Amino acid sequence: MAKIIAIANQKGGVGKTTTTINLGAYLASGNKKVLIVDLDPQGNTSSGLGIRPDKLSGDLYDVLMDGVSAQAVARPTAVDGLHVLPASAVLAAAEVELVAVPQREFKLRDALADLDYDYVLIDCPPSLGILTVNGLVAAHELIIPVQAEFYAMEGLGQLVQTVQRIRKALNPKLGLMGVLVTMHNGRTTLSMQVHEEVKRHFPDKVFETVIPRNVRLAEAPSFGKSIMHYDGWSKGARSYKALAKEVEKRAGAKKK
C-alpha cells in the first residue's frame, strides 16, 4: 500500500511546492514509484514538473468532482518513476462546489485508494479550506515546511488545531512525520533562532535535514525540472536528497 504524505502549511511561500517536487524526484530516483498530487489550483507543482494541464487528458478537478479515476489522469514526468496528478485553475471551483457534496472530506482519500505507488505526496494549497482538509484526510503522514524567517511560527497553532480536529473526526491515523525548516540562511542569526524555536515547539519532530536558501532551487521550476535534473550538485539538491533518505527512514520506522 502506498504511503500517503501531505505537505501542508496554510502560509504561502514557505516551500511546500519546492519540497513536494524535489522530495518526489529523489524518492523516485531510489527506485520507488511516486505520485505527486497537485492540490493547489495555482498548479505550480504541475508546471514545475513541466506538465501543462490540458482539457483532453483531464486533471484533479475531474477526479474530485466527476469521479474520473486517478490512474486515468496521472501523467509521467521527465523523472523516471515520478507521476503527477495535475491541477489547473478550475480546481478553485471545487473549493466552492465541494461544500454541497455529501462525504466531501473523503473525495481525495477515496480517489487514491488502491493505487500502485510506493509514495503519494500531496502538495496542499495555502489555506485550510476543504481542499487542504481533503489532503489531510487522505494522508497517513504530514510534513510541515516552515520558512526560516520572521513570523515563521505564525499560523502553526491553527494548523496543529486543524490536524487535531481532523484526527478526532475524520482521520485518526494522521501522523506528523516531521517539520522541515526551509530557506535557511546559515549566516543569519534570525535563521538559527527560528530553527531553535521550531525545535522547542516540536521536540523530536524537526527533520535533521535543513533546506538552505539556494537560488538554484528557485530557478529549476521555470525550466520544468526538479533540482535533481537542473543542478544535481547544488546545495539545494544535496539537501533534498538527504531529506528523501530521512523520509524513507521515518516512513519505514512507522510500518513496523
Ligand X SMILES: Nc1ncnc2c1ncn2[C@@H]1O[C@H](COP(=O)(O)OP(=O)(O)O)[C@@H](O)[C@H]1O
Q: Rule CB under 6 A: which residues touch ligand X?
A: 12-18, 44, 126, 182-183, 211, 213-214, 217-218, 236
| Residue 18 near residue 182 (C-beta atoms within 8 A) | yes
User: In terms of C-beta density within 10 A (0-12 exposed, 13-18 middle, 19 or more buried), how is residue 110 classed?
Assistant: middle
153/38 Cα distance (integer angstroms): 25
Residue showing the smallest CB distance to Mg ion in the complex: 17
- Output the smallest distance, CB 108 to Mg ion, in A: 17
- As beta bridge partners, residue 7 has 123, 143
Q: Which does 213 bind (CB under 5 to 8 A by kind): ligand X, Mg ion, none?
A: ligand X
Q: Which does 217 bind (CB under 5 to 8 A by kind): ligand X, Mg ion, none?
A: ligand X
Strands 3-7 and 141-147: parallel
Q: Which is nearer to ligand X, 57 or 127 (CB)?
A: 127
Site string for Mg ion, 7-46 (x = CB under 5 A): ---------xx--------------------------x--
Q: Which is nearer to Mg ion, 8 or 64 (CB)?
A: 8
- Output the smallest distance, CB 155 to ligand X, in A: 12
Q: Which is nearer to ligand X, 115 or 124 (CB)?
A: 124
Cell of 43: 498548479
| Residue 149 near residue 51 (C-beta atoms within 8 A) | no
Task: Give me the residue label for grid cell 496554510.
Answer: 10
Instruction: Report which DSSP code applies to 141.
Output: E
Task: Give me the residue label for grid cell 511560527.
Answer: 153
Please report, as ranges, the residues that interact with Mg ion according to CB under 5 A.
16-17, 44
